[in-house]
């Protein structure tokens, strides 16, 4: 299915709203200028804003006119995501020089500045989440979801597993577990945050968690396929890294066509989950399709 015009406009508008919010929140201060510049360099540089948009779209599925209430959360999520990309690109991690079509943070600045920019974006990102104009107990639940997804049980733990798995043959179950932690948990938290802000009941929350878990895994499989089949210019990051670093990937373990079939079935199931939740499913359902269509 082709990404339709309406979704394209929706994604652009929501990405722009997040960008505008971030632009103000991350204004360069009169002190530690280089830190703020590095933070801005890595967070105001495009990116699909998928996690932030998922948060807004999920809230919108419950309360159409209140999506702007989740803007601080979406912006905070995007700061935390930018932090993970900065640290992922460092020489001691994935050692990359290209991100979102530009030199990575440690190349444009230096390693120490990149490390600090990541540290600060992580904390400032959480601070933005806490600023949302929602009831204190709602913000507390959202903060717990996000910190749980980013910490050792989530993204950071997944990155550790990724590091120690390089050059080793791992099973499909191990690969899936790693990606659930490294990429899936944060995507899931982005959706769940929007659902909590929207007042989802426990059944709706469970269905949206399943939706998010499916699109998270599909997103990662597509990432592996793009790394194999696309080029650095289109991706805005170095293509072919998985092969070069002898990483276990879905295409390597499952084969290309079985990986593509898995993506299709995960997305179909994801759309069923969101439909079953009895909410305004349009945007979330189309975002699921976009995960397959994306080129970068
Ligand atoms: C959280 C303390 C702390 C440390 C982080 C470095 C690290 C530990 C984790 C790395 C996590 C990571 C980089 C996962 C990869 C996720 C991924 C596929 C990113 C690409 O996301 P896109 O395609 O990127 O949404 P854009 O540029 O569009 O935002």
> Is the shortest distance between the CB of 87 and ligand 1 below 6 Å?
yes
* Whether 272 contacts 288, CB under 8 Å: no
Region 40-51: mean pLDDT is 94
Give the per-residue pLDDT at 186.
98
Give the per-residue pLDDT at 5.
52
More confident residue, 142 or 46: 142
> Is the shortest distance between the CB of 182 and ligand 1 below 6 Å?
yes
Q: Where are the alpha helices (DSSP H) in the chain?
A: 5-25, 33-43, 50-62, 71-89, 105-108, 111-130, 136-150, 155-165, 172-179, 185-197, 202-229, 232-235, 241-244, 250-254, 256-276, 282-293
Region 259-285: mean pLDDT is 96
Give the per-residue pLDDT at 1.
47
> Is the shortest distance between the CB of 159 and ligand 1 below 6 Å?
yes
Q: What CA–CA distance (Å, rounded) separates 154 from 150? A: 5
Ligand 1 center to 65 CA (angstroms): 30
Closest-lying ligand 1 atom to the alpha carbon of residue 81 = 29
Region 76-89: mean pLDDT is 98
Give the per-residue pLDDT at 242.
86
C-alpha torsion 262→264→266→270, nearest 10:
180
Q: pLDDT for 192-216, tens place per residue?
A: 999 999 999 999 999 999 999 999 9
Region 130-144: mean pLDDT is 97
Region 84-92: mean pLDDT is 98
> Is the shortest distance between the CB of 155 and ligand 1 below 6 Å?
yes
Closest-lying ligand 1 atom to the alpha carbon of residue 159 = 9
Helix-helix angle 50-62:202-229, to 10 degrees: 150
Closest Cα to atom 17 of ligand 1 = 183
Closest-lying ligand 1 atom to the alpha carbon of residue 219 = 18
Exposed (0-12), middle (13-18) or buried (19+): which is 281, by Cβ within 10 Å?
Answer: middle
Ligand 1 center to 159 CA (angstroms): 9
> Is the shortest distance between the CB of 224 and ligand 1 below 6 Å?
no
The share of the chain scoring above pLDDT 70, in percent, equals 98
Of the listed ranges 13-17, 70-74, 121-125, 166-170, the one predicted with least confidence:
166-170
Mean pLDDT of the chain: 95
**SS3 of residue 99 by DSSP:** strand
Q: What CA–CA distance (Å, rounded) separates 166 from 159? A: 11
- Best of 43, 85, 191, 232 for a ligand 1 pocket test (most atoms within 8 Å of beta carbon): 85
Long-range Cβ pairs for the range 123-128 (8 Å, 24+): 124/25, 124/26, 124/39, 124/76, 124/79, 125/75, 125/76, 125/77, 125/78, 125/79, 125/80, 125/83, 126/76, 126/80, 127/76, 128/25, 128/72, 128/73, 128/75, 128/76, 128/79
Ligand 1 center to 295 CA (angstroms): 17
* Whether 285 contacts 275, CB under 8 Å: yes
Res 258 pLDDT > 60 = yes
Predicted model pTM: 0.95
**SS3 of residue 260 by DSSP:** helix
Region 123-127: mean pLDDT is 98
Q: What is the DSSP letter of 28?
A: P
Closest-lying ligand 1 atom to the alpha carbon of residue 46 = 27
> Is the shortest distance between the CB of 53 and ligand 1 below 6 Å?
no
More confident residue, 270 or 6: 270
**SS3 of residue 232 by DSSP:** helix
Closest Cα to atom 26 of ligand 1 = 47
> Is the shortest distance between the CB of 124 and ligand 1 below 6 Å?
no
Which residue shows structure tokens 């599909």? 218
> Is the shortest distance between the CB of 156 and ligand 1 below 6 Å?
yes
Give the per-residue pLDDT at 4.
55
């Amino acid at each position: 299915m082709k990404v339709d015009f309406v979704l394209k406009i929706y994604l652009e508008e929501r990405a722009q709203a997040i960008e505008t919010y971030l632009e103000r929140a991350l204004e360069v201060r009169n002190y530690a200028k280089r830190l703020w510049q590095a933070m801005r360099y890595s967070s105001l540089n495009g990116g699909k804003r998928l996690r932030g948009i998922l948060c807004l779209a999920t809230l919108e599925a419950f309360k159409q006119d209140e999506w702007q209430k989740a803007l601080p959360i979406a912006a905070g999520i995007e700061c935390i995501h930018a932090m993970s990309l900065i640290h992922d690109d460092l020489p001691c991690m994935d050692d990359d020089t290209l991100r979102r079509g530009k030199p990575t943070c440690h190349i444009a600045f230096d390693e120490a500045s990149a490390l600090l920019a990541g540290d600060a974006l992580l904390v400032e990102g959480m601070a933005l989440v806490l600023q949302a104009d929602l009831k204190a107990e709602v913000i507390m639940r959202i903060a717990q979801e996000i910190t749980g997804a980013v910490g050792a049980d989530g993204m950071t733990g997944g990155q550790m597993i990724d590091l120690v798995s390089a050059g080793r043959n791992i099973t499909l179950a191990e690969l899936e577990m790693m990606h659930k932690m490294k990429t899936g948990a944060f995507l899931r938290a982005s959706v769940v945050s929007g659902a909590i802000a929207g007042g989802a009941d426990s059944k709706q929350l469970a269905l949206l968690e399943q939706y998010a878990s499916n699109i998270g895994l599909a997103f990662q499989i597509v990432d592996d396929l793009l790394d194999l089949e696309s080029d650095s210019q289109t991706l805005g990051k170095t293509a072919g890294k998985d092969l070069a670093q002898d990483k276990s990937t879905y295409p390597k373990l499952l084969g290309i066509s079985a990986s593509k079939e898995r993506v299709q079935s995960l997305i179909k199931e994801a759309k069923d989950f969101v439909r079953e939740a009895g909410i305004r499913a349009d945007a979330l359902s189309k975002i699921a399709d976009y995960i397959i269509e994306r080129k970068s």
